[in-house]
């Protein structure tokens, strides 16, 4: 099932982004990577296959992960959103409807289970 599913990982810390991307590839996902929201938006505009956004909140650029999530919900409503942060605790009211938040450090299997759950809701 996951072989056809594209995920966009947005994380400014290279090693963290690489680790998450590698783990998701091992699960069979096609992974696109962006180091900030600006790169993420460009990828979303050119890669209509992306079905899940996995984003950190705190990153440099024109918007943080919460603003990126809101923009994705507005412009690409079918894209599922998983948000993470090691510096903030987020209330469900602070993220777009249908999104999921995980504090860092998170368990990789919880993220994968979340992806499966979100995708089963479509």
| CATH numbers and ranges of domains, the chain | 2-120 (3.40.50.2300)
Query: How many whole angstroms separate alpha carbon 4 and alpha carbon 30?
Result: 7
Helices (H), the chain: 14-26, 37-46, 65-75, 108-120
Task: Please give the model's pTM, rounded to 2 decimal places.
Answer: 0.92
53 within 8 A of 81, measured Cβ to Cβ: yes
Q: What three-state secondary structure class fits 37?
A: helix
What letter does residue 82 receive in the DSSP assignment?
E
pLDDT tens track, the chain, 122 positions: 444 799 999 999 999 999 999 999 999 999 999 999 999 999 999 999 999 999 999 998 889 999 999 999 999 999 999 999 887 777 778 888 889 999 888 888 999 999 999 989 76
């Amino acid at each position: 099932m996951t072989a056809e599913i594209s995920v966009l990982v947005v994380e400014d810390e290279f090693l963290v982004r690489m680790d998450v991307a590698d783990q998701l590839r091992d699960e069979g996902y096609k992974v696109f990577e962006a180091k900030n929201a600006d790169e993420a938006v460009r990828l979303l505009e050119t890669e209509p296959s992306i079905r899940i956004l996995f984003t950190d909140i705190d990153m440099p650029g024109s918007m943080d992960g919460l603003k990126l999530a809101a923009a994705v919900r507005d412009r690409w409503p079918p894209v599922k959103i998983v948000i993470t942060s090691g510096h903030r605790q987020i209330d469900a009211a602070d993220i777009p409807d249908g999104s999921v938040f995980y504090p860092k450090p998170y368990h990789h299997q919880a993220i994968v289970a979340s992806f499966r759950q979100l995708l089963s809701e479509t």
